[in-house]
Protein backbone atom coordinates (compact mmCIF):
# COMPACT_ATOMS: atom_id res chain seq x y z
CA UNK A 1 0.00 0.00 0.00
CA UNK A 2 1.58 3.24 -1.13
CA UNK A 3 0.68 5.48 1.79
CA UNK A 4 3.30 8.04 2.79
CA UNK A 5 3.60 10.34 5.76
CA UNK A 6 5.91 13.34 6.12
CA UNK A 7 6.65 15.73 8.94
CA UNK A 8 7.12 19.50 9.11
CA UNK A 9 7.23 20.24 5.38
CA UNK A 10 4.73 22.44 3.56
CA UNK A 11 3.90 24.94 0.82
CA UNK A 12 4.87 28.45 1.91
CA UNK A 13 4.17 30.42 -1.28
CA UNK A 14 2.41 29.93 -4.62
CA UNK A 15 2.07 31.83 -7.89
CA UNK A 16 0.30 31.07 -11.16
CA UNK A 17 0.51 32.15 -14.79
CA UNK A 18 -2.02 31.70 -17.59
CA UNK A 19 -1.92 32.77 -21.25
CA UNK A 20 -3.65 36.07 -21.95
CA UNK A 21 -5.64 34.60 -24.85
CA UNK A 22 -9.12 33.68 -23.62
CA UNK A 23 -11.04 31.05 -25.59
CA UNK A 24 -14.77 31.59 -25.22
CA UNK A 25 -16.07 28.03 -25.59
CA UNK A 26 -19.52 29.04 -26.92
CA UNK A 27 -17.69 30.77 -29.77
CA UNK A 28 -15.31 27.89 -30.45
CA UNK A 29 -17.44 26.93 -33.43
CA UNK A 30 -14.98 26.69 -36.31
CA UNK A 31 -15.37 22.91 -36.58
CA UNK A 32 -18.84 22.21 -35.16
CA UNK A 33 -22.30 23.82 -35.45
CA UNK A 34 -23.06 26.40 -32.73
CA UNK A 35 -26.05 24.49 -31.27
CA UNK A 36 -23.95 21.32 -30.80
CA UNK A 37 -21.19 23.39 -29.23
CA UNK A 38 -23.62 25.02 -26.79
CA UNK A 39 -24.89 21.59 -25.76
CA UNK A 40 -21.40 20.25 -25.05
CA UNK A 41 -20.23 23.41 -23.28
CA UNK A 42 -23.27 23.53 -20.99
CA UNK A 43 -22.78 19.91 -20.01
CA UNK A 44 -19.04 20.02 -19.35
CA UNK A 45 -19.36 23.38 -17.57
CA UNK A 46 -16.25 24.83 -19.22
CA UNK A 47 -17.01 28.33 -20.51
CA UNK A 48 -13.55 29.77 -20.91
CA UNK A 49 -10.05 28.45 -21.29
CA UNK A 50 -6.63 29.98 -21.89
CA UNK A 51 -4.53 29.04 -24.92
CA UNK A 52 -0.86 29.80 -25.46
CA UNK A 53 0.39 31.15 -28.79
CA UNK A 54 2.66 28.95 -30.89
CA UNK A 55 5.84 30.35 -29.37
CA UNK A 56 4.91 29.79 -25.72
CA UNK A 57 5.67 26.59 -23.81
CA UNK A 58 4.69 25.25 -20.39
CA UNK A 59 8.13 26.31 -19.17
CA UNK A 60 7.43 29.96 -20.15
CA UNK A 61 4.27 29.98 -18.03
CA UNK A 62 6.18 28.38 -15.14
CA UNK A 63 9.05 30.85 -15.54
CA UNK A 64 6.63 33.79 -15.25
CA UNK A 65 4.99 32.22 -12.18
CA UNK A 66 8.38 31.52 -10.58
CA UNK A 67 9.65 35.07 -11.16
CA UNK A 68 6.46 36.43 -9.61
CA UNK A 69 6.82 34.14 -6.61
CA UNK A 70 10.51 34.94 -6.06
CA UNK A 71 10.01 38.71 -6.44
CA UNK A 72 6.81 39.01 -4.39
CA UNK A 73 8.34 37.09 -1.50
CA UNK A 74 11.90 38.43 -1.89
CA UNK A 75 13.29 34.88 -2.02
CA UNK A 76 17.06 34.57 -2.10
CA UNK A 77 17.67 32.48 -5.24
CA UNK A 78 20.85 31.07 -3.66
CA UNK A 79 18.70 29.21 -1.14
CA UNK A 80 16.74 27.22 -3.74
CA UNK A 81 18.44 23.82 -3.68
CA UNK A 82 15.85 21.78 -5.58
CA UNK A 83 13.79 22.46 -8.71
CA UNK A 84 11.25 19.92 -9.98
CA UNK A 85 9.46 20.58 -13.26
CA UNK A 86 6.20 18.68 -13.74
CA UNK A 87 4.74 18.44 -17.24
CA UNK A 88 3.83 16.25 -20.20
CA UNK A 89 4.44 19.16 -22.55
CA UNK A 90 8.17 19.83 -22.05
CA UNK A 91 10.29 22.10 -24.29
CA UNK A 92 12.29 19.25 -25.82
CA UNK A 93 12.62 15.48 -25.62
CA UNK A 94 16.06 16.29 -24.23
CA UNK A 95 17.45 17.99 -22.20
CA UNK A 96 15.06 18.07 -19.27
CA UNK A 97 13.15 21.35 -19.04
CA UNK A 98 13.90 21.68 -15.30
CA UNK A 99 17.58 22.14 -16.12
CA UNK A 100 16.83 24.89 -18.65
CA UNK A 101 14.68 26.60 -16.00
CA UNK A 102 17.48 26.33 -13.40
CA UNK A 103 19.65 28.52 -15.60
CA UNK A 104 16.86 30.83 -16.77
CA UNK A 105 15.85 31.54 -13.18
CA UNK A 106 19.45 32.25 -12.23
CA UNK A 107 19.69 29.40 -9.73
CA UNK A 108 23.00 27.99 -8.58
CA UNK A 109 24.70 25.08 -10.34
CA UNK A 110 24.37 23.17 -7.07
CA UNK A 111 20.61 23.01 -7.62
CA UNK A 112 19.10 19.52 -7.91
CA UNK A 113 16.91 19.68 -11.04
CA UNK A 114 14.80 17.00 -12.74
CA UNK A 115 11.47 16.53 -14.53
CA UNK A 116 8.44 14.45 -13.61
CA UNK A 117 6.25 13.27 -16.49
CA UNK A 118 2.96 11.85 -15.22
CA UNK A 119 -0.24 13.72 -16.11
CA UNK A 120 -3.22 14.92 -14.12
CA UNK A 121 -2.21 13.44 -10.74
CA UNK A 122 1.37 14.73 -11.04
CA UNK A 123 1.21 17.74 -8.71
CA UNK A 124 0.39 15.45 -5.78
CA UNK A 125 3.02 12.91 -6.86
CA UNK A 126 5.55 15.75 -7.25
CA UNK A 127 4.66 17.19 -3.87
CA UNK A 128 5.33 13.79 -2.25
CA UNK A 129 8.73 13.51 -4.00
CA UNK A 130 9.75 16.98 -2.83
CA UNK A 131 8.41 16.46 0.71
CA UNK A 132 10.43 13.21 0.81
CA UNK A 133 13.66 14.91 -0.31
CA UNK A 134 13.07 17.75 2.16
CA UNK A 135 13.20 15.21 5.01
CA UNK A 136 16.96 14.96 4.42
CA UNK A 137 17.40 18.41 6.06
CA UNK A 138 20.03 19.62 3.58
CA UNK A 139 17.64 21.22 1.11
CA UNK A 140 16.77 24.73 2.22
CA UNK A 141 14.05 25.68 -0.26
CA UNK A 142 12.48 23.70 -3.09
CA UNK A 143 10.61 24.98 -6.10
CA UNK A 144 7.92 22.94 -7.84
CA UNK A 145 7.13 24.25 -11.32
CA UNK A 146 4.09 22.57 -12.86
CA UNK A 147 2.97 23.58 -16.35
CA UNK A 148 0.88 22.20 -19.20
CA UNK A 149 -0.03 23.37 -22.69
CA UNK A 150 -2.75 20.81 -23.41
CA UNK A 151 -4.12 23.10 -26.14
CA UNK A 152 -1.28 21.80 -28.27
CA UNK A 153 -2.05 18.12 -27.68
CA UNK A 154 -5.68 17.68 -28.69
CA UNK A 155 -7.37 17.96 -32.08
CA UNK A 156 -9.86 20.85 -32.36
CA UNK A 157 -11.84 18.57 -34.71
CA UNK A 158 -12.41 15.83 -32.11
CA UNK A 159 -15.43 16.73 -30.00
CA UNK A 160 -14.37 14.22 -27.31
CA UNK A 161 -11.58 16.55 -26.26
CA UNK A 162 -11.92 19.82 -28.23
CA UNK A 163 -13.76 21.77 -25.53
CA UNK A 164 -12.07 20.53 -22.35
CA UNK A 165 -8.44 21.47 -22.10
CA UNK A 166 -6.61 24.69 -21.29
CA UNK A 167 -3.09 25.90 -20.52
CA UNK A 168 -1.46 27.14 -17.34
CA UNK A 169 1.63 27.06 -15.15
CA UNK A 170 2.33 27.42 -11.44
CA UNK A 171 5.21 27.77 -9.02
CA UNK A 172 5.11 26.48 -5.45
CA UNK A 173 7.75 27.04 -2.80
CA UNK A 174 8.29 24.20 -0.34
CA UNK A 175 10.02 24.71 3.01
CA UNK A 176 10.50 23.01 6.35
CA UNK A 177 8.60 24.62 9.22
CA UNK A 178 7.72 23.03 12.54
CA UNK A 179 4.16 24.34 12.35
CA UNK A 180 3.29 22.17 9.36
CA UNK A 181 3.19 18.96 11.39
CA UNK A 182 2.17 15.79 9.53
CA UNK A 183 1.06 15.36 5.92
CA UNK A 184 -0.28 12.21 4.31
CA UNK A 185 -0.22 10.90 0.72
CA UNK A 186 -1.82 8.03 -1.20
CA UNK A 187 -0.30 7.33 -4.63
CA UNK A 188 -1.64 4.76 -7.11
CA UNK A 189 -1.17 3.48 -10.67
CA UNK A 190 -2.90 1.13 -13.13
CA UNK A 191 -1.07 0.71 -16.44
CA UNK A 192 -3.58 -1.89 -17.64
CA UNK A 193 -5.71 1.15 -18.51
CA UNK A 194 -2.91 2.95 -20.39
CA UNK A 195 -5.04 3.19 -23.53
CA UNK A 196 -7.86 5.26 -22.01
CA UNK A 197 -6.00 8.55 -22.50
CA UNK A 198 -3.07 8.49 -24.87
CA UNK A 199 -1.00 10.02 -27.65
CA UNK A 200 -0.16 6.99 -29.77
CA UNK A 201 2.71 8.31 -31.87
CA UNK A 202 5.71 10.57 -31.54
CA UNK A 203 7.60 8.58 -28.90
CA UNK A 204 9.92 5.68 -29.61
CA UNK A 205 7.25 2.91 -29.79
CA UNK A 206 5.64 4.63 -32.76
CA UNK A 207 8.07 7.29 -34.00
CA UNK A 208 6.82 10.32 -35.95
CA UNK A 209 6.37 9.74 -39.67
CA UNK A 210 4.31 11.15 -42.53
CA UNK A 211 1.64 8.61 -41.54
CA UNK A 212 1.42 9.65 -37.88
CA UNK A 213 0.70 13.30 -38.67
CA UNK A 214 -2.13 12.50 -41.14
CA UNK A 215 -5.54 13.55 -39.89
CA UNK A 216 -8.20 10.83 -40.15
CA UNK A 217 -11.86 10.38 -39.36
CA UNK A 218 -11.73 8.12 -36.31
CA UNK A 219 -15.35 7.19 -35.52
CA UNK A 220 -18.95 7.13 -36.71
CA UNK A 221 -19.46 10.68 -35.40
CA UNK A 222 -16.92 12.13 -37.82
CA UNK A 223 -14.34 13.15 -35.23
CA UNK A 224 -10.97 13.88 -36.80
CA UNK A 225 -7.47 13.56 -35.36
CA UNK A 226 -4.01 12.18 -36.11
CA UNK A 227 -1.99 9.61 -34.15
CA UNK A 228 0.03 12.51 -32.74
CA UNK A 229 -3.05 14.07 -31.17
CA UNK A 230 -4.18 12.99 -27.74
CA UNK A 231 -7.37 10.98 -27.44
CA UNK A 232 -9.59 10.09 -24.54
CA UNK A 233 -12.11 7.32 -23.96
CA UNK A 234 -14.37 9.48 -21.80
CA UNK A 235 -16.79 6.69 -20.86
CA UNK A 236 -14.17 4.41 -19.39
CA UNK A 237 -12.31 7.30 -17.77
CA UNK A 238 -15.56 8.02 -15.95
CA UNK A 239 -15.88 4.35 -14.99
CA UNK A 240 -12.33 4.54 -13.65
CA UNK A 241 -13.21 7.63 -11.59
CA UNK A 242 -16.31 5.94 -10.16
CA UNK A 243 -14.33 2.84 -9.26
CA UNK A 244 -11.19 4.38 -7.78
CA UNK A 245 -11.58 7.95 -6.55
CA UNK A 246 -14.24 7.61 -3.81
CA UNK A 247 -12.28 4.62 -2.43
CA UNK A 248 -9.01 6.54 -2.45
CA UNK A 249 -10.72 9.51 -0.78
CA UNK A 250 -11.87 7.24 2.03
CA UNK A 251 -8.45 5.54 2.24
CA UNK A 252 -6.53 8.77 2.72
CA UNK A 253 -8.97 9.95 5.42
CA UNK A 254 -8.55 6.66 7.24
CA UNK A 255 -4.76 6.67 6.90
CA UNK A 256 -4.55 10.24 8.24
CA UNK A 257 -7.18 9.64 10.92
CA UNK A 258 -9.56 12.41 9.84
CA UNK A 259 -13.31 12.65 9.37
CA UNK A 260 -14.15 14.47 6.15
CA UNK A 261 -15.97 17.20 8.11
CA UNK A 262 -12.71 18.15 9.85
CA UNK A 263 -11.15 19.30 6.57
CA UNK A 264 -11.41 22.91 5.44
CA UNK A 265 -11.25 22.40 1.67
CA UNK A 266 -11.36 19.57 -0.85
CA UNK A 267 -9.47 20.40 -4.02
CA UNK A 268 -10.18 18.04 -6.87
CA UNK A 269 -8.56 17.79 -10.28
CA UNK A 270 -10.66 19.99 -12.56
CA UNK A 271 -11.70 17.41 -15.17
CA UNK A 272 -15.15 18.69 -16.08
CA UNK A 273 -18.13 19.84 -14.02
CA UNK A 274 -19.93 16.55 -14.64
CA UNK A 275 -17.23 14.45 -12.94
CA UNK A 276 -16.70 17.00 -10.16
CA UNK A 277 -20.42 17.20 -9.35
CA UNK A 278 -20.57 13.42 -9.36
CA UNK A 279 -17.73 13.18 -6.81
CA UNK A 280 -19.22 15.87 -4.54
CA UNK A 281 -22.56 14.06 -4.54
CA UNK A 282 -21.14 10.57 -4.16
CA UNK A 283 -18.89 11.58 -1.25
CA UNK A 284 -21.62 13.79 0.28
CA UNK A 285 -19.33 16.81 0.52
CA UNK A 286 -20.22 20.37 1.42
CA UNK A 287 -19.98 22.21 -1.91
CA UNK A 288 -18.90 25.42 -0.16
CA UNK A 289 -15.64 23.62 0.67
CA UNK A 290 -14.91 22.65 -2.96
CA UNK A 291 -13.24 25.51 -4.84
CA UNK A 292 -13.59 25.26 -8.61
CA UNK A 293 -11.98 26.88 -11.67
CA UNK A 294 -13.30 24.49 -14.31
CA UNK A 295 -15.61 27.20 -15.74
CA UNK A 296 -12.78 29.65 -16.44
CA UNK A 297 -9.60 27.63 -17.01
CA UNK A 298 -10.94 24.24 -18.17
CA UNK A 299 -8.94 21.09 -17.56
CA UNK A 300 -5.26 22.05 -17.24
CA UNK A 301 -4.14 18.51 -16.31
CA UNK A 302 -1.66 18.46 -13.41
CA UNK A 303 -1.84 22.26 -13.06
CA UNK A 304 -5.54 22.27 -12.16
CA UNK A 305 -5.18 21.45 -8.44
CA UNK A 306 -2.57 24.12 -7.58
CA UNK A 307 -4.08 26.66 -10.03
CA UNK A 308 -7.43 26.27 -8.26
CA UNK A 309 -5.75 26.92 -4.91
CA UNK A 310 -4.02 30.03 -6.32
CA UNK A 311 -7.12 31.38 -8.05
CA UNK A 312 -9.77 30.61 -5.42
CA UNK A 313 -8.02 30.45 -2.04
CA UNK A 314 -5.73 33.48 -2.33
CA UNK A 315 -6.34 34.82 1.17
CA UNK A 316 -7.80 31.65 2.68
CA UNK A 317 -4.57 29.79 3.37
CA UNK A 318 -2.91 32.35 5.65
CA UNK A 319 -4.64 31.06 8.76
CA UNK A 320 -4.10 27.40 9.50
CA UNK A 321 -6.12 25.09 7.24
CA UNK A 322 -6.15 21.36 6.59
CA UNK A 323 -6.96 20.53 3.00
CA UNK A 324 -7.44 17.43 0.91
CA UNK A 325 -6.07 17.20 -2.64
CA UNK A 326 -7.32 14.56 -5.09
CA UNK A 327 -6.33 14.10 -8.73
CA UNK A 328 -6.63 11.40 -11.37
CA UNK A 329 -5.97 10.83 -15.03
CA UNK A 330 -3.72 9.59 -17.82
CA UNK A 331 -1.74 6.46 -16.96
CA UNK A 332 -4.00 5.77 -15.30
CA UNK A 333 -2.64 7.23 -12.08
CA UNK A 334 -4.46 8.72 -9.12
CA UNK A 335 -3.30 10.36 -5.94
CA UNK A 336 -4.64 12.09 -2.86
CA UNK A 337 -3.07 14.01 -0.01
CA UNK A 338 -4.04 15.71 3.23
CA UNK A 339 -1.75 18.64 3.93
CA UNK A 340 -1.66 21.51 6.38
CA UNK A 341 -1.54 25.06 4.99
CA UNK A 342 -0.31 27.89 7.18
CA UNK A 343 0.80 31.39 6.23
CA UNK A 344 0.87 30.45 2.53
CA UNK A 345 1.48 33.57 0.45
CA UNK A 346 -0.37 33.43 -2.83
CA UNK A 347 0.50 35.94 -5.56
CA UNK A 348 -1.92 37.38 -8.10
CA UNK A 349 -2.14 35.33 -11.30
CA UNK A 350 0.15 36.65 -14.06
CA UNK A 351 -1.01 36.78 -17.70
CA UNK A 352 1.62 35.82 -20.27
CA UNK B 1 -37.71 -3.53 -10.93
CA UNK B 2 -38.56 -2.76 -14.60
CA UNK B 3 -40.87 0.08 -13.66
CA UNK B 4 -38.42 1.62 -11.22
CA UNK B 5 -35.57 1.26 -13.72
CA UNK B 6 -37.54 3.08 -16.41
CA UNK B 7 -38.29 5.87 -13.92
CA UNK B 8 -34.59 6.17 -13.06
CA UNK B 9 -33.67 6.14 -16.73
CA UNK B 10 -36.22 8.86 -17.56
CA UNK B 11 -35.00 11.02 -14.74
CA UNK B 12 -31.36 10.56 -15.76
CA UNK B 13 -32.01 11.64 -19.34
CA UNK B 14 -34.50 14.30 -18.25
CA UNK B 15 -37.23 12.80 -20.43
CA UNK B 16 -40.67 14.21 -19.66
CA UNK B 17 -44.17 13.78 -21.01
CA UNK B 18 -43.87 10.45 -22.76
CA UNK B 19 -43.74 6.76 -21.93
CA UNK B 20 -40.65 4.60 -22.43
CA UNK B 21 -40.92 0.91 -23.31
CA UNK B 22 -38.66 -2.06 -22.60
CA UNK B 23 -38.15 -2.64 -26.31
CA UNK B 24 -37.07 0.97 -27.03
CA UNK B 25 -33.64 1.36 -28.56
CA UNK B 26 -32.42 4.05 -26.18
CA UNK B 27 -29.76 5.40 -28.54
CA UNK B 28 -32.57 6.53 -30.83
CA UNK B 29 -33.91 8.97 -28.22
CA UNK B 30 -33.24 12.60 -29.14
CA UNK B 31 -31.92 13.07 -25.57
CA UNK B 32 -29.16 10.48 -26.11
CA UNK B 33 -25.57 11.72 -26.48
CA UNK B 34 -22.15 10.98 -25.01
CA UNK B 35 -22.94 12.88 -21.81
CA UNK B 36 -26.30 11.14 -21.46
CA UNK B 37 -24.25 7.95 -21.59
CA UNK B 38 -22.07 9.16 -18.70
CA UNK B 39 -25.19 10.07 -16.74
CA UNK B 40 -26.54 6.54 -17.24
CA UNK B 41 -23.18 5.09 -16.12
CA UNK B 42 -23.39 7.21 -12.95
CA UNK B 43 -27.03 6.16 -12.39
CA UNK B 44 -26.16 2.44 -12.75
CA UNK B 45 -23.44 2.89 -10.12
CA UNK B 46 -25.53 4.96 -7.72
CA UNK B 47 -28.82 3.06 -7.91
CA UNK B 48 -27.58 -0.47 -8.58
CA UNK B 49 -23.84 -0.46 -7.67
CA UNK B 50 -23.12 -1.76 -11.15
CA UNK B 51 -20.22 -0.63 -13.38
CA UNK B 52 -20.46 -1.48 -17.08
CA UNK B 53 -17.34 -0.85 -19.19
CA UNK B 54 -17.76 0.93 -22.54
CA UNK B 55 -17.05 -2.18 -24.61
CA UNK B 56 -19.84 -4.11 -22.83
CA UNK B 57 -22.20 -1.17 -22.86
CA UNK B 58 -21.95 -0.96 -26.65
CA UNK B 59 -23.62 -4.39 -26.90
CA UNK B 60 -26.70 -3.19 -25.01
CA UNK B 61 -29.36 -1.94 -27.40
CA UNK B 62 -32.74 -1.77 -25.64
CA UNK B 63 -33.86 -0.67 -22.20
CA UNK B 64 -34.52 -4.32 -21.44
CA UNK B 65 -30.89 -5.16 -22.32
CA UNK B 66 -29.82 -2.64 -19.68
CA UNK B 67 -32.10 -4.19 -17.09
CA UNK B 68 -30.84 -7.70 -17.89
CA UNK B 69 -27.24 -6.49 -17.62
CA UNK B 70 -27.92 -4.97 -14.20
CA UNK B 71 -29.58 -8.21 -13.01
CA UNK B 72 -26.65 -10.23 -14.32
CA UNK B 73 -24.05 -8.10 -12.51
CA UNK B 74 -25.80 -7.54 -9.21
CATH of B2-73, one of 1.10.1200.10, 1.10.10.10, 3.10.20.740, 3.40.50.300: 1.10.1200.10
Bond prior to A95 in cis (omega within 30° of 0): yes
Is the predicted pLDDT of residue A328 greater than 70, yes or no?
yes
pLDDT of B26 strictly over 70: yes
Confidence grade of residue B44 (pLDDT, cut at 50, 70, 90): very high
Mean pLDDT, to the nearest integer, of A105-109? 98
Q: Cβ separation of B54 and A239 shorter than 8 Å? A: yes
pLDDT > 90 in chain A, percent: 93
Give residue A75's pLDDT.
98
Give residue-wise pLDDT tens across range A132-163. Answer: 999 998 999 999 999 999 999 999 999 999 99
Query: Between A112 and B50, whose confidence is greater?
Result: A112
Of B33, B38, B46, the CB nearest to A238: B38
User: pLDDT tens across A250-288, in order?
Assistant: 999 999 999 999 999 999 999 999 899 999 999 999 999
Round the CA-based radius of gyration of chain B to a whole number and report it: 11
Altogether, the residues listed in chain A come to a count of 352
Whether A278 has its CB under 8 Å from any CB of chain B: the answer is: yes
Q: In this model, does residue A345 exceed pLDDT 80? A: yes
Q: Which residues does chain B have within 8 Å of residue A238's beta carbon, measured at their own beta carbons?
A: 38, 41-42
The answer to whether residues A298 and A164 touch, using CB atoms and an 8 Å cutoff, is yes
Mean pLDDT confidence for A69-87: 98
Taking CB atoms and an 8 Å limit, are B34 and A39 in contact across chains? no
Q: Quick check: B45 contacting A, CB < 8 Å?
A: yes
pLDDT greater than 80 at residue A1: no
CATH architecture, domain defined by A1-352: 3-Layer(aba) Sandwich (3.40)
- Would you call A248 exposed, middle or buried from its count of C-beta atoms within 10 A (0-12, 13-18, 19+)? middle
B4-15 mean pLDDT: 92
pLDDT tens figures, A201-231 = 999 999 999 999 999 999 888 899 999 999 9
pLDDT at A7 (0 to 100): 97
B-interface mutation test, from A158, A237, A239, most B Cβ less than 10 A away? A239
- Which of B34, B39, B54 has the CB atom closest to A236's CB atom? B54
Which residues of A are known catalytic residues? 120, 269, 299
What average pLDDT does this structure show over B32-57?
88
In chain B, the largest separation of any two C-alpha atoms, in whole Å, equals: 32
Sign of the CA dihedral running A165, A168, A169, A174: negative
pLDDT of B57 above 80: yes
Is the CB of B32 inside 8 Å of chain A's CB atoms?
no
The average pLDDT across B18-37 equals: 90
Is the predicted pLDDT of residue A86 greater than 90, yes or no?
A: yes
Comparing A51-55, A232-236, A327-331, which segment has the lowest mean pLDDT? A232-236
- Region of A221 on the Ramachandran plot (φ > 0 left; ψ -120 to 50 alpha; else beta): alpha
Distance from CA of A235 to the nearest CA of B (A): 6
Between CA A280 and CA A288 the distance in angstroms is 11
> Which residue, among A60, A82, A63, A58, has the nearest Cα to A15 in the 3D structure?
A63
Cβ atoms within 10 Å, residue A63: 21
Question: Where does the pLDDT of residue A34 fall: very low under 50, low under 70, confident under 90, or very high at 90 and above?
Answer: very high
Give contacts of A 145-164 with B, CB under 8 A.
160
Question: Is residue B36 scored above 90 in pLDDT?
Answer: no
Domain ranges of chain A: 1-352
Question: Would the CB atoms of B35 and A242 count as touching at under 8 Å?
Answer: no
Instruction: Report chain A's mean pLDDT, rounded to a whole number.
Output: 96
Q: What are the chain B neighbours of A39 within 8 Å (beta carbons)?
A: 33
Quote the DSSP letter at residue A347.
P
Q: State the pLDDT confidence band at A235, using cuts at 50, 70 and 90.
A: confident
CA angle A15, A289, A26 (to 5 degrees): 70
| Mean pLDDT, rounded, for A88-104 | 97
The pLDDT value recorded for residue A262 is 97
Amino acid sequence: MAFLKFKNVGITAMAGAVPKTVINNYEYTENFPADQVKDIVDKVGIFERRFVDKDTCSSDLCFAAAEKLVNDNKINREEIDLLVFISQTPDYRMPATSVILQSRLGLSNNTIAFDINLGCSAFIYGLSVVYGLMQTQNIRKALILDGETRSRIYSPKDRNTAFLFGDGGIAALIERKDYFGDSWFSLNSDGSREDLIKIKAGGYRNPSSCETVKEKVVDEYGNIRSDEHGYMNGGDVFNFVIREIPTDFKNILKFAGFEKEQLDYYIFHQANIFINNYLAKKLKLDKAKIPSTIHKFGNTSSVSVPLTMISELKTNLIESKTILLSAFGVGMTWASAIVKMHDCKISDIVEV
Amino acid sequence: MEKQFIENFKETLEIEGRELYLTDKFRDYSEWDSLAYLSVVAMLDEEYSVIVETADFKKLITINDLIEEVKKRK
